Amino acid sequence: MRFSPAMLQRAAKAVDKYALYVPTKGVFPKEFKVASTASGVKKNGVLDLGVILNTNKSRPSSAAAVFTTNKFKAAPVLLSRGVLEASHGKGVDAIVVNSGCANSVTGDVGLADGQAMLEMVNQNIGKDNATLVMSTGVIGQRLKLDKIQGGINDIFKKNKFGTDFSSWLGLAKSINTTDTFPKLVSSKFTLPNGKEYTLTGIAKGAGMICPNMATLLGFVLTDLPIESATLQKMLRFATSRSFNCISVDGDMSTNDTICMIANGAIDTPVINESSPEYQQVQQQVTEFAQRLAQLVVRDGEGSTKFVTVNVQNALKFDDAKIIAESISNSMLVKTALYGQDANWGRILCAIGYAKLNDLKSLDVNKINVSFVTTDDSQPRELKLVVNGVPNLDVDEARASEILALNDLEVLVDLGTGNEEAQFWTCDLSHEYVTINGDYRS
């Protein structure tokens, strides 16, 4: 096989990103074990199938998920949503996920294939209605079910499960498609009562990213005991401020799913909305989800920049978020960022056509727009528009320096209120077209 210059360049970037963003160690929640294998759906022995298993039997687990709002929902989305509805988010102890085939727009046969996947795991753990199923890859192709079933059998019969870092990293690798690096994050936290708990997150995604509920595939696992309805509310809150605030290309997948399982392995009272720890845990889960979501943007297909769009002093949070999203999704803004062109007019344009809930959130005579550096150079903030008027004295050389950075911020001050929202996006390069022009090949 001959490699094009673009492919070689992407491989070199992948090495850099792998070294920057892939951990070499981690901490993992109690009573979870994970496994991965190469089922043969992907070529050349690449990992393409994973299973997450809760082994805590001291109390029932709680599970929650947020799914795609795309009208063409993939079979795994429909099946997993059905499992959560039937179980009321209680007693879900496993997740099985494959990459290489999305099992999307596959009709009844796709539903039957997905059902066969989750039933096979249910049989192995000896429990009904206890498994969520997820798939990612090419849309419109039927699963190679014989290979998937062979892989599940291989995992359970050979007991490939582990709790060590290598096992968790293998799981993260098994769900990758066009990703250049596996996305794995883990952290320990301490409750006011002194009890420690752990959050571990895994995600995949590099393209088809602009969700309206979640993003591609992601899992957050914790050993905290959290009441199921509370967990669902907590996940929705975190998602609205993390995975719903990222954009690579403005496309929403048919398979987008973020799920969270709390297995209660930590000996502490069950957390609900009235618990004194609730606000603290919700904030920690939200910040953790933001870290995980940002890795998806950093791996954006063909991207060279990670851009934080920060909208401040809005009348309402929802409108701040709508404006941040509009800027982040603008192809003209993205290409200007790639070309290191300080074209603030494109930013104002994207703000102007944003579909706000309250028109009072935007006053064209109060708006300020700046580029903000993320390094130690000065000045940190370069004002482009002040009170709706262009800054005619803008330092173009300084603008070029900021836009040459790998990380930078676009700051918008609306001056109409006190609410703020952030979105995370990337630039749009020639390489994005190359990658997606021959995705299926």
Residue 117: enclosing H or E segment and its boundaries?
helix 107-125
Tokens of 86: 């039937």
pLDDT, tens digit, 9 for 90 and up, residues 406-425: 999 999 999 999 999 999 99
> Domain spans of the chain?
17-298, 306-437
Q: How far is CA 223 from CA 54, 58, 127, 266, in A?
A: 10, 12, 20, 6
From the number of C-beta atoms within 10 Å of its C-beta (0-12, 13-18, 19+), residue 304 rates as middle
Residues 87-93 have a mean pLDDT of: 97
Cis, peptide link before residue 211, omega less than 30° from 0: no
pLDDT band for position 5 (cuts 50, 70, 90): low
From the number of C-beta atoms within 10 Å of its C-beta (0-12, 13-18, 19+), residue 44 rates as exposed
Topology of domain 17-298, CATH: L-amino peptidase D-ALA esterase/amidase (3.60.70)
436 is in an annotated binding site: yes
Residues 377-403 have a mean pLDDT of: 94
pLDDT value for 236? 94
DSSP, collapsed to helix, strand or coil, labels residue 279 as helix
Active-site residue, 222 included: no
Q: How many Cβ atoms are within 10 Å of 164's Cβ, its own excluded?
A: 13
User: What residue ranges in 351-403 does DSSP mark as E strands?
Assistant: 368-373, 381-386, 389-390
Q: Catalytic one among 37, 215, 308, 425? A: 215
pLDDT, tens digit, 9 for 90 and up, residues 27-64: 999 999 999 999 999 988 999 999 999 999 999 999 99
The alpha carbons of the chain give a radius of gyration, in whole angstroms, of 22
Tokens of 276: 């004194």
215 is in an annotated binding site: yes
Q: Give alpha helix (H) positions in 88-227.
A: 107-125, 145-157, 165-174
The span from the first CA to the last CA of the chain, in angstroms, equals 13
pLDDT value for 250? 52
DSSP, collapsed to helix, strand or coil, labels residue 168 as helix
204 is in an annotated binding site: yes
Question: Can you list the pairs that 334-338 forms with residues at least 24 positions away whose Cβ atoms lie under 8 Å?
Answer: 334/425, 334/426, 334/427, 334/428, 335/427, 335/428, 337/305, 337/307, 337/403, 337/427, 337/428, 338/304, 338/305, 338/427, 338/428, 338/429
pLDDT value for 252? 47
pLDDT value for 24? 96
Percent above pLDDT 70 for the chain: 90
Backbone torsions φ then ψ of 111, nearest 5 degrees: -60, -40
Residue type, 319: D
pLDDT, tens digit, 9 for 90 and up, residues 111-133: 999 999 999 999 999 999 999 99
Mean pLDDT score across all residues of the chain: 90
301 is in an annotated binding site: yes
pLDDT value for 4? 52
pLDDT value for 439? 52
User: Are 17-298 and 306-437 the same fold in CATH?
Assistant: no
pLDDT band for position 138 (cuts 50, 70, 90): confident
Tokens of 109: 């046969």
pLDDT value for 3? 47
In degrees to the nearest 10, what's the CA dihedral of 143, 148, 149, 152? Answer: -150
Residue type, 8: L
pLDDT, tens digit, 9 for 90 and up, residues 212-225: 433 368 999 999 99
Considering the four listed CATH numbers 3.40.50.300, 3.10.20.340, 3.40.50.2030, 3.30.365.10, the one that applies to the domain covering 306-437 is 3.10.20.340
pLDDT value for 16? 78
Between CA 385 and CA 111 the distance in angstroms is 53
DSSP, collapsed to helix, strand or coil, labels residue 383 as strand
Between CA 324 and CA 318 the distance in angstroms is 10
Between CA 159 and CA 94 the distance in angstroms is 15
Residues 6+ apart with CB under 8 A from 207: 178, 248, 249, 251, 300, 301, 432, 435, 436
**Residue 15 pLDDT greater than 90, yes or no:** no
pLDDT value for 1? 39
Tokens of 122: 């249910």
Between CA 253 and CA 414 the distance in angstroms is 31
Sort strands 407-413 and 306-314 into parallel, antiparallel or unpaired: parallel
Between CA 212 and CA 424 the distance in angstroms is 14
